[in-house]
Chains A and B, each alone.
Chain A
Amino acid sequence: MKRGSFIEHVAWTGAGIAYSLGTGGLLAGRAVAAGVEGQIEFVQISDSHIGFHQAANPDVAGTLKLAVDAINAMPSQPAFVVHTGDITHLSTQQQFDDARAILSQLRAPLIALAGEHDVIGNDPKLYFATFKVPHSTPGGWASWDAGGVHYVVLLNVFNFEKMGVLGTDQLDWLAKDLAGVATSTPVVVFTHVPLYALYPQWGWTTDDGAKALALLQPFQRVTVLNGHIHQIVTHQDGNIRFASADATAYPQPKPGAAPKPGPVTLPHDDLLRAIGYRTVEIQAGTLAFEDRALG
């Protein structure tokens, strides 16, 4: 499995890649030895697709459990674990039950966003009943402050025709929410679909994402972490840093590298190296994250 250009040059045997934003705004990557870690603030997992049972991963429950076990084994538990959506494959009650059974084993609190696979039929009832973000608005989006960071959860998986899309209600809420935050405060945004036009040909974009980014641009340090595309892709736009995460289920092709974005089937060992979770440290208001493979 070929990974992003940053990563192709690094052996991927239990080590991770840490990215940190230098004062000049340049993205710097460094390899980090396994087991060497500071205080993890939170962990991101994504795209578990519980219920998927094709060749690309016949045991998506098993690989999600591997991620949960690895997170639970961390000597110092994170403040929370965020799941950036596509928890289930087909939004069924059974799949939500199975996903909850695994994710409830996490020692740290869970914040789980909806992906489009969690609200098929434009019906969020089962998602809201199972995984609603704590203290969220009626629409499901949310914000909170912790450790000097302003966290925002945006849901951009409704109105599928233009997926992703945030909608006027959510954008109005975001404008009001950010109005009360000092521009020096680090802002961390979680979404499912990328907020910028990462690869619109495959729907890897948010139709009205530019409006959200315009609201975020005045802030000095913004990080947007998302899922949806089952691979690590980083991007920088002004003060805003973007990082898509690996899935826990299966990888998808690099943008445009295949005729279609569907699941990529790899030998089992290679699969485990192409899926994983992300640990995030926050040092003096700057996020540094490591993407850790499951194999």
Chain B
Amino acid sequence: MRHLLVPLLGLLLAAPAFASTAPGVRIQNDAFVPAVLTIAAGQTVTFTNADDDAHTVTAYDGTFDSKGLDTNGVWRHTFAKPGVYRYFCQLHPFMKGTIVVKAAGS
């Protein structure tokens, strides 16, 4: 079955509709990837710590904070309103990221 599933999975990942419904940020090598992610209002972003150190996802304005995310830790946050949300890692303040939230349907 494996040889059948792989092409199917590739199709799913390649489909824009799929990607936009499950936006994510990976934390790896002391960086948020992608550093800037654009989503629609109401979408939930999954932050995954794929690093060998602990990190946080913390808004500069204090509106969201993952608290400590261990290796392989996952944290989700729903961005209800359009805007530009800048965040950083409390443990490594040089790590910075931005979520750009556009009005749904725009």
Q: What range describes how many residues of B lie at the interface?
A: 20 to 34
What separation, in Å, do the CA atoms of A132 and B29 have in the docked complex? Answer: 33
Give residues 49-88 of B contacting A (CB, 8 Å). 51-54, 56, 58, 60, 65, 67-68, 70-71, 88
Please, what's the 1-or-0 string for A193-229, where 1 marks a CB less than 8 Å from any CB in chain B?
Answer: 0000000011100000000000000000000000000
| Contact A263-B52, Cβ < 8 Å, known A120-B90, A161-B60, A161-B93 | yes
Question: Is B58's CB under 8 angstroms from A160's CB?
Answer: yes
Knowing A117-B54, A120-B56, A203-B94 are in contact, say whether A90-B70 is a contact too (CB < 8 A): yes
The residue on B at minimum CB distance from A92 is: B68
Chain A: which residue is nearest B66 at the CB level?
Answer: A121
Max count, chain B CB within 10 A of own CB: residue among A89, A162, A259, A263: A89
Report B-chain residues with C-beta under 8 Å of the C-beta of A52: 54
Chain A, range 80-100, C-beta contacts under 8 Å to B: 89-92
Interface residues on A, range: 20 to 34
Let me know if A124 is at the binding interface, CB within 8 A. Answer: no
Report the Cα distance A53→B90, complex, angstroms. 20
Q: Which chain A positions have C-beta within 8 A of B58?
A: 160
A162-B93, A261-B30 given; A120·B68 CB < 8 A:
yes
* Chain A contacts to B: CB under 8 angstroms: 51-56, 89-92, 116-117, 120-122, 160-163, 201-203, 259-263, 265
Q: Which 7 A-B pairs have the closest CB atoms?
A: A160-B90, A260-B30, A90-B68, A120-B68, A54-B52, A121-B67, A262-B53
